[in-house]
């Protein structure tokens, strides 16, 4: 079968792109190396900025039916001692386990017509041909939605040479006495962790810490949550790197494949969904505006999507990367709790609609094809 687009990776980015392209009638193939449902090193918090995108594609009703937990606020702790407690004013962050979330989005895309091949690992790309662990597939457009260690970015020469990253993230489901409905973010000398409920019965912990430290994630957990017991730990890295080029016209990167955000602010899933929708809409515009204009527009819009958010995210990263610096900043924040509250509300605030462009999606001229209705 001939495909119009091949998408590598079925996380939130890949499945959002598959949904948008399939609903617009494009023959879309998604190649995913895991077998779903699969778990993921993640805090599982969805920023409310996702809701307008889900609403736009008629996904909100089914999204609301997924097992979830509505987070009521954010508690910032320094070495286990709360220094700021902030209850969300309006919009609530929602946690959904990634095995559940990613499978649901994949099903929505499959329902729209996308073909999924699970258990297939992409190993090479030669022009239009994607080489995998189970044969070769061809398409004129390839989307790299394969996460922070994107092979698509590397094979398409969109990545920079690999840079060392001195931090690693760990995740586990924990059994811990009730922590209420807040996400607890604890900053300690080796790094920080977030712990929060993810549904009616389960609690999740993610730890980001220096790769050089001798302490294990288990030891860190027991230091601050002595009564907690947990299931096996999973890890991932890098935690940060420079942004990569997002497209060369043939290959388009979305989500973590293009840019990684500091996990603490919980914006990675939103950014994957939003950048994937943006890339898909630009790809759909190619017959009308040409590949060069579509790619240039995606580059600009992608920069704007991350724009000011990256500034805050980078400040958070800068504050946390160094132990002495993070201690000083936390000591200061004790006296300015409203600064933390403002930042938390800002991170959760709705995205500004892009009024500069006719369709609000980000193309710099009205689309010639009708935008499908969900
Ligand atoms: C510790 C930590 C906590 C986080 N907490 C949050 C949070 O609370 N909220 C939030 O919004 N974000 C959080 N994030 C970020 C979030 O997890 C990512 O931003 C998000 O998963 C990016 O989605 P994606 O679709 O781009 O990539 P991914 O979700 O990483 O999906 C990539 C997919 O590609 C597949 N793949 C990779 N290589 C290949 C290959 N060669 N062939 C085939 N398939 C392949 C993988 O199996 C995977 O399914 C956190 C990140 C970390 C590290």
pLDDT digits 0-9 by tens, 44-57: 999 999 999 999 99
In DSSP notation, 297-361 reads HHHHHHHHHHHHHHHHHHHHHHHHHSHHHHHHHHHHHTT-HHHHHHHHHHHHSPPPP-TTSTTSS
Q: CA–CA separation, 46 vs 52, rounded Å? A: 12
Q: Say how many Å lie between the CA of residue 147 and the centre of ligand 1.
A: 5
For residue 348, what pLDDT band results from cuts at 50, 70 and 90? Answer: confident
Q: Pick from 268, 273, 305, 306 the residue to mutate for probing ligand 1's pocket: most ligand atoms within 8 Å of its CB.
A: 268
Q: What is the pLDDT of residue 349?
A: 76
Please choose from 7, 8, 9 the residue to mutate so as to test ligand 1's pocket, defined by most ligand atoms within 8 A of CB.
Answer: 9
pTM exceeds 0.95: no
Ligand 1: centre distance to CA 146 (Å): 8
* Superfamily per CATH, domain 5-164+239-348: FAD/NAD(P)-binding domain (3.50.50.60)
12 lines ligand 1 (CB under 6 A): yes
DSSP 66: S
pLDDT in tens, 291-325: 999 999 999 999 999 886 677 788 888 888 888 89
Helix (H) or strand (E) holding 101: helix 98-111
Q: How far is the CA of 76 from the centre of ligand 1 (A)?
A: 25
Task: Confirm or reject: Cβ of 208 under 6 Å from ligand 1.
Answer: yes
191 ligand 1 Cβ < 6 A = no
Determine if ligand 1 sits within 6 Å of the CB of residue 260.
no
User: Which whole number is the average pLDDT over 102-118?
Assistant: 98
14 pocket-lining for ligand 1 (C-beta < 6 Å): yes
Q: Return the SS3 of 135.
A: strand
| Per-domain residue ranges of the chain | 5-164+239-348
For residue 358, the model assigns a pLDDT of 37
Q: Is the pLDDT of residue 366 over 70?
A: no
């Amino acid at each position: 079968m001939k495909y119009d687009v091949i998408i590598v990776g079925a996380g939130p980015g890949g499945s959002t792109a598959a949904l948008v392209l399939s609903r617009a009638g494009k023959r879309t193939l998604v190649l995913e190396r895991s077998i779903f449902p699969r778990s993921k090193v993640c805090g599982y918090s969805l920023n409310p900025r996702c809701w307008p995108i889900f609403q736009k594609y008629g996904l909100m009703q089914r999204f609301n039916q997924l097992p979830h937990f509505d987070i009521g606020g954010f508690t910032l702790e320094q070495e286990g001692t709360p220094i700021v407690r902030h209850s969300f004013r309006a919009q609530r962050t929602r946690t959904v386990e990634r095995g559940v979330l990613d499978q649901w989005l994949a099903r929505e895309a499959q329902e729209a017509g996308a073909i999924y091949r699970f258990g297939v690992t992409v190993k090479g790309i030669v022009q239009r041909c994607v080489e995998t662990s189970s044969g070769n597939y061809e398409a004129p457009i390839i989307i790299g939605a394969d996460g922070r260690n994107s092979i698509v970015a590397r094979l398409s020469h969109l990545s920079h040479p690999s840079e060392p990253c001195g931090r690693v993230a760990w995740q586990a489901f924990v059994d811990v006495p009730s922590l209420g409905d807040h996400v607890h973010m604890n900053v300690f000398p080796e790094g920080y962790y977030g712990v929060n409920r993810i549904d009616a019965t389960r609690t999740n912990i993610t730890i980001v810490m220096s790769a050089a430290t001798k302490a294990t994630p288990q030891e860190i957990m027991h230091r601050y949550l002595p009564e907690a017991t947990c299931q096996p730990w999973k890890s991932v890295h890098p935690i940060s790197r420079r942004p990569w080029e997002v497209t060369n016209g043939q290959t388009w990167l979305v989500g973590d494949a293009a840019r990684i955000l500091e996990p603490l602010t919980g914006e990675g899933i939103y950014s994957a969904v939003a950048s994937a929708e943006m890339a898909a809409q630009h790809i759909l515009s190619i017959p009308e505006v040409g590949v060069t204009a579509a790619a240039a527009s995606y580059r600009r819009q992608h920069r704007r999507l991350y724009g000011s958010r990256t500034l805050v995210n980078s400040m958070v990263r800068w504050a946390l990367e160094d132990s002495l610096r993070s201690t000083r900043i936390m000591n200061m924040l004790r006296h300015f709790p409203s600064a933390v509250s403002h930042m938390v509300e800002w991170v959760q605030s709705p995205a500004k609609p892009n009024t500069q462009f006719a369709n609000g999606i980000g193309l710099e001229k009205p689309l010639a094809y009708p935008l499908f209705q969900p």
